Structure formats: C-alpha cells, structure tokens
Amino acid sequence: MPLQWSHAVLYVADLPLMLDFYCRVLGFEQTDRGKLNERPAEIVFLSQAPYEHHQLALVPTRAAGGESDNLAHLAFRTDDLASLRELIGALQAENVDLRPVSHGNTWSVYLQDPEGNGLELFCDTPWHVRQPAGIPWDLELSDDALLAWTERTFSGEPGFVPRERYYPRSGAATTSS
C-alpha cells in the first residue's frame, strides 16, 4: 500500500512571525487553531490545498535563538515556472536570501524561514535527470533562456530523458540505473 505525504509540524519560537511569513509571503491560509490537549501550547494549521485540512502546522514550543537543526528542509512544488517566479519575487521583496539550484529535473530555490528552517520551493523541468545533481541557476534568465540552459547543462548526464518517458515507470526506477 503506497503512502502519500500529507503534512509537517514545526516547533516554532515566534508564532506571529512564522504565521506572517508562511501566510503573507508564501500564501498559506490558516485553516484551524486551538490548544493541544491540556498543554499550554496552541497549534495552528495551514494549507494551500483545498483537499488537505493542513499541509503544515506550527506549534510555539521552541526556545528563541539558534537555527533549527532537526530538519534539512521542507520542499514545496509549484504548478509551473511562472508560479515559482511569483514566489521568488515575493521573497525578494522581503529581502530573503535565496539560493537557486537546478537539479535538472527541477528549478529550485533554497531559503530559510524566519526561524532558520530550511525550505525548497521548486517546479518541475521537462526532463528527468539521475540524482544527485545540482547546479546554481541565474534567476535573471528568461524562461526560454532557462529552458535552453537547463537542457544544455544536463543533457549529457546519465538518465537524461524527457519527463514523460521516465515517470510512467514504477517508483523503483528512481533507485536503479
């Protein structure tokens, strides 16, 4: 029986700051909030998906100070490059430090939320590329130039094929060849 990823829960120090970032900057909506059983902590549920009550929950139980060290990053897929660029613009307006990386199969930007939790925002490219792979990409490239750069950069890599030729196969394909 295959599992589907549903949500993550982050322990946070500054709930209002984190709510502002995830809702105003990244576009999540608060779907619920309330006390956790008899604990003093409140949990806040956030989602962008109409079919998921929450994709992310925030619980203010972390001590202030220091970066989070229990999570590498949370990754969020956007529908397309235009949506990713819209998010990039919103993050740049907030002076968030962005690290763009193309994995050949995605155009990604890595960043940290206000409490130091790692995030990846990405959209798919038209290709599959065997992983791991990652090369910085220029945020200033036009869509056509980025597409051409990605194909030129990754076409010599093992397993480089159009996405539709790779993904109809079973999940086991991601660990072989």
- pLDDT tens digits along 12-25: 999 999 999 999 99
| Calculated CA dihedral for residues 103, 105, 108, 112, nearest 10 degrees | -70
Is 1 part of a structural domain of the chain?
Answer: no
Give the pair of three-digit tokens for residue 44: 């806040």
Could you give the percent of the chain with pLDDT greater than 90? 66
Number of domains in the chain: 2
Residue 94 shares a structural domain with residue 46: no
Q: Are residues 31 and 106 in the same domain?
A: no
Mean pLDDT of 105-133: 94
- Asked whether residue 176 is assigned to any structural domain, the reply reads no
Same domain, 20 and 39: yes
- Let me know if residue 105 belongs to a domain: yes
d(CA 21, CA 134): 27
The answer to whether residues 74 and 134 belong to one domain is yes
Please say which residue of 62, 86, 103 terminates a domain: 62
In residues, how long is the chain?
177
> Does 125 share its domain with 158?
yes
Nearest Cα residue to 123 out of 166, 167, 81, 87: 81
Residues 55 and 29 in one domain: yes
Q: With CA atoms as reference, report the closest residue to 43 among 19, 55, 59, 32.
A: 59
Verify that 85 and 145 share a domain, yes or no.
yes
pLDDT of residue 104: 95
SS3 label, residue 85: helix
In the 8-state DSSP scheme, what is residue 137?
Answer: -
Domain for residue 156, yes or no? yes
For Cα atoms 157, 163, 166, give the angle at the middle one, nearest 5 degrees.
80
Residue 132, preceding bond cis, omega within 30 degrees?
yes
Each residue of 18-47: pLDDT tens digit?
999 999 999 999 999 988 776 677 899 999
Residues of the domain holding 137: 69-169
Residue 118 lies in a domain: yes
